[in-house]
Every structure is written in C-alpha cells, then in structure tokens.
Amino acid sequence: MKITQELYSSSLALFTDFYQLTMANGYWKSGIAEKEAVFNLFFRKNPFSGGYTINCGLEYVIDYIKHFKFTDEDLEYLATVNSKNGSPLFSDEFLKYLGDLKLEVDVDAIPEGKAVFPHEPIIRVKGPILQCQLLESPLLNIINYQTLIATKAARIFNSAKGDPVLEFGLRRAHGIDGALAASRASYIGGCSSTSNVLAGKLFGIPVSGTHAHSWVMAYDDELTAFKAYADAMPDNCVLLVDTYNTIEGVKHAIKVGEILKEKGKKLSGVRIDSGDLAYFSIQARKMLDEAGFNDTYIVASNDLDENIIGSLRTQDAKIGVWGIGTKLVTAYDQPALGAVYKLSAIKNDKDEWDYKVKLSEQAIKVNNPGIQQVRRFYSNKEDGQKTPMADMLYDVKTQLGKKLKIIDPMDLTRRKIIKTDGLAYEELLKPIFKNGKLVYESPDIHNIRQTTIDSLNELPSGVRRLVNPHSYPVGLEEKLYTLKTDLILQLRNLNDEENE
C-alpha cells in the first residue's frame, strides 16, 4: 500500500527538520558519514495519565523508508539554500552524495497494535550514522501522532465495553494528513468504522454515517424529512432525532420505522447529539421497545470521550453505539506523546561498539545505552490465558541466565526477580529492514486492530483502568543497568575534572 505515494506526487525526503541536513553535511565533511550507529525511538511517559500505550504508525514508516530518495527537484531546492553570508550552504559534492544515497539501515520495530510502555524502544535503527540521522524527524512525526491517537481510541474502546465505536472526527482533525492518520490509528485502536470516506478507500476501514441536522431543516417538518431519508436509504436508516425536540424526534422515527417495517425493511437506529444523553437514551429505549423496535440501536455523540462514556454507563444510559469525534482525533486532553530518538551506540575506529548516554539534570531524560531488545515475560495461567508480567530491556550482546533481575530505570529501589524456567516470553522488536531491504510482511489493518484488542485483553485489569492505573513493570536487565550507571559516573567525573 503506497500511502505517501497516493497522497503526494513529490518526494518526502525533505520532510525533515533542517538540522538533520546540517548534521548530515557535518558527518559527510568530517568523514564519519558511514560510521555505524544505533538510534532508539521511545517515549518517556504513558499518555493521558494511563497505564499503557498502543503502538501505531509502523506501516507509514515502512512506506516512507521504502520510497526514500532525494530527487533532482529536492537537490535543486537545497542548492538555493544560502548561508548567512550569501554563499550556498551545501556544496555540489554533498548534494551529489545525497542524490546517490540509498538507505542501507537495519530497522527493528515493535508491531502495530502491541501495548508498549515508557523507555522501551519502539523502533531501533542501525546503520551509517548519516542515514540514521536523516530518519529521525519523519519517524518521530509518524509514530508520535498515530501512537497517541491509537492509545486514545483504545481507552475509548475499553470504556465502551464491546459496544461499537464510530470515529467521525474528520471535520475537527488537524488537516488532511491529521484526519487520515487519525482515522487509521483510531481503527487500529479499536474503533469499528470511520466517517472518513478517503480513509475507507486508502486503508480498507469500514465507513459509516447517518445524516446531519441540515437534512431535517431542509424539509418543512421533521417527519417529512425522516420519510424522505428512509426512502433514500432504506437499508441504512439511522435518524438524527434532536434537531428540534428529542422526544418528538423519537416519536417521528418510530412512525417511519413502522413504514419501513411494512416494506420489509427496518429502522436501524436513532442518534442523539445533544442534551442529557443518559435521560434521553433511557426514554428513547423505552419508547422504541414499547413500539416493538427492540433491535433499533441508539447512537450517542456530542464531544464524548472515555470518561464521559464511563459516566454514562454508570447512569445506566441505554446507548448501544458511540460516535466519537473531536476529543479522539485531536487527542483533546494531551496533544503530544513526546517520543524521542536518541543515539545509544556508535562504532569506534577499532570497529568496536561504544555505548552512549545523554546526561541531563532530569533523570527521565537520561537515555538507556546499548543495542537494546525488549523481552516480554508472560505468567502461566491454569486456563491457558497468557498475561504479561514484566518487560525487560537488555543489550543483545548480553548472555542471559535463568534467573534475571530487572531494575526500574527511574527508581533503582523498584526491582523484580524473574525466574525464567518454563516461563513464556516474546522478543518484541521484530526485523523490518535488513541493509535497507524490507524483510517484514505487514499484516492487514483488521489484523492489526485485533492485535490491539488482544493486547488490551491480555493486560492486567489494573493496568487498563483509566484512573490511577497500576504501573506495569518495565526494567533494565541488571547488567545493562550497571553499564548505564558506570557510563553516567564516567561522564560526570570527566565533567568534574574539566571544571576543576
């Protein structure tokens, strides 16, 4: 699926921050462009004060890397970029280097739909440092947004307790890109369908929709409008009942339902978009049932999110389908995930790996070194169901024993012993590209959505809850933790000596 190629006719190689190109130029000029390095893409906190995050966006990443190339038009533009003294910033030789560039990176990533947690590498990129650097901004742009929206959708899906959730945020989304990416991520997060028809075409997401208040207002009265809509859409008749008076609207919908029934059709549903949704849904359900329309569902909309859905359910609202727009596609209560892309290892002149950490006054901003893998351990249940019990970050060159200790990177007092005998586990980072060649077969979007649902069902209930969720154990394998500590102390001691 050529996502970017269908949306854009031009190259996306320049879809990057300017400093990626200035650094690339610097690597090339200093002769280290081909030096092998490792970068990790990860986030530091679960969004929405939640207990988990749903990984999303890998298909876009694959598509971007597959089609990465600086075109003649790209290079012509870069040739016009001048330094402050008016001379060309990039030399002809460097631009030719970019024009001839073919990505030769190894990319490992956690599949879409998987529950992930802070500090875990979602994507690991290994290869020539210049190439790895050029991928930073686009990968962050893709993963940050889609992971954020997929997580919001998963929280809403979890609150709906199996009821269908319809995403119709196109008109409130942040542009064409935002609307399409949000529709895709929302479906992966658990939504049942989208109102975005282009997303339906591009991604194969089921599309759905009712009608607007303008349909009712275009006719002399509501009943006439409902009859006309039923004539036009007898097999998809969901009537919006709150244009003038919700209770009267339900009465009119029932009359139209009786006409449909005589024709061998059915009134699929009624939608309420304003007012006291709990009260009106209870009244509507009673009226529909008394009229014999027990299988007509009630759709609710009006700036809903996971918290409002939870509240309505506690009020015994009779809502069977939830329509979610603004607060989903804009990630209304947290507009950014904050994932970062950090160098964790680089080869020295002896062709040996030097592991790297970035220091900070804030402990949360000190990255983890090494060529990392994430191993998820599962507890063994009598009913055969597997439950994630802990995630371990470890260096791939480390020999692991049968008894492991993991240490929380943010709190050294939080430790967990894992006895691995007979314990099921999964290596979360999967090979995606090897030396620039795609080696991964992406599942279709429906299977990715099912991965999300399975991931949610596997998680302990305490991790899934919306308020004060349980903290899922994620830790550095003891040797990696010790290595990180030693590197930090070496750098701090070096800095102290330089300041003496």
Q: Is residue 159 part of a domain?
A: no
pLDDT reported for residue 204: 97
Number of structural domains found in the chain: 1
Q: In the prediction, which pLDDT does 5 show?
A: 53
Angle between helices 222-232 and 246-262 (to 10 degrees): 40
pLDDT at 499: 59
Distances (CA, A) of 125 to 59, 140, 161, 347: 16, 12, 37, 14
Q: pLDDT tens for the chain, 500 residues: list them.
A: 555 555 566 789 999 999 999 999 999 999 999 999 999 999 999 999 999 999 999 999 999 999 999 999 999 999 999 999 999 999 999 999 999 999 999 999 999 999 999 999 999 999 999 999 999 999 999 999 999 999 999 999 999 999 999 999 999 999 999 999 999 999 999 999 999 999 999 999 999 999 999 999 999 999 999 999 999 999 999 999 999 999 999 999 999 999 999 999 999 999 999 999 999 999 999 999 999 999 999 999 999 999 999 999 999 999 999 999 999 999 999 999 999 999 999 999 999 999 999 998 888 999 999 999 999 999 876 666 789 999 999 999 999 999 999 999 999 899 999 998 889 999 999 999 999 999 999 999 999 999 999 999 999 999 999 999 999 999 999 999 999 999 999 998 866 655 55
Q: Is residue 271 part of a domain?
A: no
Q: Establish if 450 belongs to a structural domain.
A: yes
109 within domain boundaries: yes
Query: Residue 55's closest CA among 125, 135, 141, 145?
Result: 145
For residue 11, the model assigns a pLDDT of 83
93 inside domain: no
CATH number of the CATH domain containing 392: 3.20.140.10
What local confidence, expressed as pLDDT, does residue 361 receive? 85
Residue 361, classed as helix, strand or coil, is coil
Look at residue 97 and give its three-state secondary structure: helix
Measured CA distances, 304 to 167, 248, 273, 325, 332 (Å): 11, 24, 10, 8, 11
Establish if 250 belongs to a structural domain: no
| Number of residues assigned to the chain | 500
Global pTM value: 0.95
Residue 449, in any domain of the structure? yes
Output the pLDDT for position 4.
53
Q: Would you say residue 378 lies in a domain?
A: yes
493: containing domain: 34-66+104-149+340-498
Classify burial at 93, counting beta carbons within 10 Å of its beta carbon; exposed 0-12, middle 13-18, buried 19 or more: exposed
Sequence-distant (≥ 6) Cβ neighbours of residue 191 within 8 angstroms: 153, 156, 157, 165, 166, 167, 324, 328
